[in-house]
Amino acid sequence: MKKYLIMFAVLLCIPLTMLAQQTVTVSGTVTDTKGVPMIGVNVSVKDVAGLGAITDLDGHYHLKMEPYHKLAFTYIGYETVEILVKDKYTINVEMKEAAASALDEVVVTGMGAQKKLTVTGAVTNVKVEDLKRFPTSNLSNALAGNVPGIIAMQNSGQPGKNTSEFWIRGISTFGASNSAYILVDGFET
């Protein structure tokens, strides 16, 4: 009798473990209100750390997850969309632009996006129109006149050798390099 009771308990636990490990593939397309696919939208599973995806060039995403969790679609300048995944595994999302006042408070850094109130460093915006006013052949020299705290030094005036170095708030450093690390549209300069 004891043998049958143990076997019954083991057989009862098997379907529960199979349900707990069920994963599904959720996919879809993210577009804006005009129907244009959105590239680089962050698709994350809410309350599950490290599980997410980013939309590709066509706005498509694919994600393996457990059902009955919420998907959060986030993109800078757009309202966050949250959708509960139940039995439908193809989820197409249309994202709406956020209010203009909310955009002024977001600062994009090398580590992500933060609200302007929580940024601990200095943030400076330079408009292209301001840079066009200075007749210089080097971006570093143009920035030195428009951004407070930047020092630029051009070693030579010879054609082809007009490289310029610049430093932020002085030349001293604690590390190996004293030059600034600059990203323009995601590329190192």
Is there a domain that residue 85 lies in?
A: yes
Which of these, 83, 60, 63, lies nearest to 73 by C-alpha position? 83
Residue 132, helix vs strand vs coil: helix
pLDDT greater at residue 163 or residue 97: 97
Q: What is the pLDDT of residue 96?
A: 94
pLDDT (tens digit per residue) in 88-120: 889 999 999 987 654 466 777 666 777 777 777
Q: Sorting pLDDT into bands at 50, 70 and 90, what band is 15?
A: low
pLDDT (tens digit per residue) in 115-135: 777 777 777 777 788 777 777
Residue entry with tokens 């599950």: 48
pTM of the model: 0.49
CATH code: domain of residue 113? 2.60.40.1120
Burial class (CB in 10 A: 0-12, 13-18, 19+), 95: buried
Determine the residue type at 117.
L
Residues 154 and 105 in one domain: no
Q: Which of 118, 143, 169 is the last residue of a domain?
A: 118
Residue entry with tokens 């007009």: 162
Residue 21, helix vs strand vs coil: coil
Residues 135 and 175 in one domain: yes
The count of structural domains within the chain is 2
pLDDT (tens digit per residue) in 32-78: 999 999 999 999 998 888 889 999 999 999 999 998 899 999 998 89
Q: Is 129:146 a contact under the CB 8 Å cutoff?
A: no
Residues 109 and 66 in one domain: yes
Is there a domain that residue 14 lies in?
A: yes
Q: What range defines the domain where residue 164 resides?
A: 128-188
Q: Which of 118, 142, 177 is the last residue of a domain?
A: 118
Residues 147 and 172 in one domain: yes
Q: Which of 118, 152, 175 is the last residue of a domain?
A: 118
Task: Please state, in angstroms and as integers, the Cα–Cα distance from residue 176 to each residue in 172, 179, 180, 188, following that order.
Answer: 11, 9, 12, 18
Q: Sorting pLDDT into bands at 50, 70 and 90, what band is 180?
A: low
Is there a domain that residue 100 lies in?
A: yes
Is there a domain that residue 123 lies in?
A: no
d(CA 109, CA 103): 14
